[in-house]
Amino acid sequence: MDYLEGLNPQQRAAVETIDGPVMIVAGAGSGKTRVITYRVAHLIQKGVDAFNILVLTFTNKAAKDMRERITKVVGPEAKNLWMGTFHSVFAKILRVEADKIGYPSNFTIYDTDDSKSLVRSILREMQLDDKLYNANFVFNRISSAKNNLISWGEYMNNAEIQAEDIATNRPLLGVIYETYTKRCFKAGAMDFDDLLFKTNVLLKDHP
């Protein structure tokens, strides 16, 4: 197997491990991506169905580069890999399974501008001070909550979060989060953060 040549003993051990988790900890430019790429190729060559392998990256470029490298080793079977950014792969999963959490399979994906526009609309309806309840601040607060897997209900019932909002004279952030979430749901829409948050809900509630 030519792809094993040039790997140091630690890299080779990581590539050849079939069962159980492997954590690759190394500095920039040390070959982490190459090790992960070759491990995927090795799994396929050892008979693991490519369709059962999930590879998540932070950028589309990284996913494209990895798929090309794997294809050079294993051939066209690489096209069956679940590979892409967190958002793109989770969107594919949700397109298939969204009905289990009450969304249509053709749900709309709001970009950042769409999301901020909805936040501004809610703030206007609630007639809130736009200096305290700045749309960018509110959007980032909601985004942070979702990225920490905190639903609007958990947000409103968390004493520490509520105390922090009250201390900054923004006691209605939880209500805004609730309204924002319900408006998105009614519109059959998810924002970028929902692609991660709702996938977590899906896998937790419907394993």
* Residue 1: predicted pLDDT: 55
Identify the sign of the CA torsion 158, 159, 160, 165.
Answer: positive
Contact (CB, 8 A) for 153 and 162: no
Query: Model-level pTM?
Result: 0.83
Mean pLDDT over each residue of the chain, to the nearest integer: 93
* Integer Cα distance of 41 and 18 in angstroms: 11
Helix (H) or strand (E) holding 55: strand 54-57
Percent of the chain with pLDDT over 90: 68
Q: Kindly report, residue by residue over 103-145, the tens digit of the pLDDT.
A: 999 999 999 999 999 999 999 999 999 899 999 999 999 999 9
Q: Reduce the DSSP state of residue 197 to 3 states and report it.
A: helix
The C-alpha R_g of the chain, in whole angstroms, comes to 22
- Give me the mean pLDDT over the 44-70 stretch: 90
Q: Kindly report, residue by residue over 168-187, the tens digit of the pLDDT.
A: 999 999 999 999 999 999 99
Instruction: Mark 131-149 as b/e (b = at least 16 C-beta within 10 Å).
Output: eebbbeebbebbbebbeee
In the predicted structure, residue 21 carries a pLDDT above the cut 90:
no
* Integer Cα distance of 163 and 54 in angstroms: 40
* Integer Cα distance of 193 and 72 in angstroms: 34
- Give me the mean pLDDT over the 39-49 stretch: 91
